[in-house]
């Protein structure tokens, strides 16, 4: 009996030590100062309003890209380009990139929502094809105008889609103010547990199965999208777009930093929109025309054998045919 009592007393004496071993530190967060509530119908109405109110846009921007990842074993960062993107809702887009310093055209690309055309003067080549990339294409040559357009203009609910809503949160660092820096508070991180609404767009069920098409993450501190996930037919995330630094352009509220990730293609784009950008201005009739100059090699990216090669590098290695004499 005395042995049992001693054993019990020993266990009780170890209890503080045992419970102490289970304690560990975690990041300390706080709730945001303001959190808004909205119904699913209200969220959808706001998404639809932002989409339909943007009939056209000319976005002056800086853009950079990164290719590669874990499958390639390395990541290549490109130099930044300046230029502009012209959008006509719902399916027309023109992208013009300029060589840094010299301001000459590095690339032009247009699309009508079905097919695209790209001209690369420094490489003396042109590329044509459909707006859907082939599985064999990686990096920049998997990029299609529809990827940029779907990331810039967030569509609402279509008649052939179903919808669901959940709630989640993310941990973000609070933006530093001038007083924080002056008082030395910028050295410590102020972390916020930021709540959001997650709106899931689903295909019409086939039997009991419905597939996720998109998930729109809406920040509850301002009821604006901060992320959009777009899925392919296999249920994998094909495109992720992250939105931040919203600004007012007339009556339009638009993000001035958009990060587009294509994990399956190992491609990333960062678009920074400038203050000279305009919305809902009348566009010229030839805005989305892009003639191919004579003498440029043209490659069809819908041809698997042709698309397996690097079209512009191949064209650069092959002298362009001289223009016919008149």
- Over the stretch 42-77, which tens digit does the pLDDT of each residue have? 999 999 999 999 999 999 999 998 876 555 555 565
Q: What is the pLDDT of residue 26?
A: 74
Residue 320 pLDDT greater than 50, yes or no: no
Give the C-alpha separation, 211 to 194, whole Å.
Answer: 28
User: How far are the Cα atoms of 157, 184, 196, 199 from residue 212, in angstroms, in the given order?
Assistant: 13, 46, 19, 11
Distance of CA 137 to the CA centre of its chain: 19
Q: What is the pLDDT of residue 280?
A: 97
Per-position DSSP letters for 173-208, written without gaps between them: EPPPPHHHHHTTGGGS--EEEEEEEEEEEEEPPBTT
Q: What is the pLDDT of residue 318?
A: 39
Per-position DSSP letters for 227-290, written without gaps between them: EEEEE-TTS-EEEEEEEEEEEEETTEEEEEEEEEEETTTTEEEEEEE-TT-EESPPPPTTTT--
CB neighbour list of residue 108: distance below 8 Å, 6 or more residues apart: 94, 95, 96, 97, 118, 119, 290
Give yes or no for a contact between 301 and 134, defined as CB atoms under 8 angstroms apart.
yes
- Over the stretch 71-122, which tens digit does the pLDDT of each residue have? 555 556 566 889 999 999 999 999 999 987 777 898 899 999 999 998 988 8
Q: What is the pLDDT of residue 9?
A: 55
Q: What is the pLDDT of residue 322?
A: 41
Residue 310 pLDDT greater than 80, yes or no: no
Q: What is the pLDDT of residue 1?
A: 54
Give the C-alpha separation, 278 to 60, whole Å.
Answer: 9
Q: How much of the chain exceeds pLDDT 90, in percent?
A: 56
**Local confidence band at 321 (pLDDT 50, 70, 90 cut-offs):** very low
Distance of CA 290 to the CA centre of its chain: 26
Report phi then psi at 187, rounded to 5.
Answer: -75, -25
Give the C-alpha separation, 3 to 5, whole Å.
Answer: 5
Q: What is the pLDDT of residue 290?
A: 94
Tokens (6 digits) for 118: 């790209």
- Over the stretch 185-240, which tens digit does the pLDDT of each residue have? 555 678 999 999 999 999 999 999 999 999 999 999 999 999 999 999 999 999 99
Q: What is the pLDDT of residue 242?
A: 98
The CATH number of the structural domain formed by 53-173+186-317 is 2.50.20.10
- Hey, where are the domains in the chain? 53-173+186-317
**SS3 of 275, please?**
coil
């Amino acid at each position: 009996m005395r042995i049992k009592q001693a054993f019990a007393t020993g266990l009780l004496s170890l209890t503080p030590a045992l419970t102490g071993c289970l304690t560990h530190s975690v990041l300390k967060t706080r709730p945001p100062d303001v959190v808004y509530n909205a119904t699913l119908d209200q969220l959808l109405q706001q998404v639809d309003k932002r989409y339909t109110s943007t009939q056209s846009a000319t976005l002056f921007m800086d853009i950079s890209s990164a290719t590669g990842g874990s499958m390639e074993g390395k990541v290549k960062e490109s130099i930044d380009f300046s230029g502009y993107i012209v959008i006509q809702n719902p399916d027309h887009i023109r992208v013009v990139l300029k060589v840094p310093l010299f301001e000459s055209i590095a690339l032009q690309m247009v699309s009508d929502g079905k097919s695209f055309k790209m001209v690369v003067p420094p490489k003396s080549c042109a590329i044509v094809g459909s707006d859907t990339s082939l599985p064999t294409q990686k990096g920049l040559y998997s990029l299609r105008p529809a990827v940029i357009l779907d990331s810039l203009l967030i569509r609402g609910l279509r008649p052939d889609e179903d919808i669901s809503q959940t709630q989640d949160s993310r941990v973000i660092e609070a933006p530093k103010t001038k007083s924080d820096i002056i008082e030395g508070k910028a050295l410590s991180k102020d972390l916020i547990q930021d709540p959001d609404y997650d709106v899931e767009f689903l295909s019409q069920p086939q039997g009991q199965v419905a597939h996720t098409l998109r998930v729109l993450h809406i920040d509850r501190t301002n009821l604006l999208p901060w992320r959009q996930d777009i899925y392919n037919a296999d249920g994998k995330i094909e495109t992720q777009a992250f939105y931040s630094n919203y600004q007012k352009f007339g009556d339009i509220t638009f993000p001035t930093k958009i990060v587009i990730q294509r994990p399956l293609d190992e491609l990333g784009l960062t678009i920074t929109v400038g203050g000279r950008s305009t919305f809902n201005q009348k566009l010229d009739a030839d805005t989305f025309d892009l003639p191919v100059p004579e003498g440029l090699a043209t490659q069809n990216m819908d041809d698997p054998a042709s698309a397996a090669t690097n079209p512009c590098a191949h064209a650069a290695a092959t002298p362009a045919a001289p223009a016919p004499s008149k």
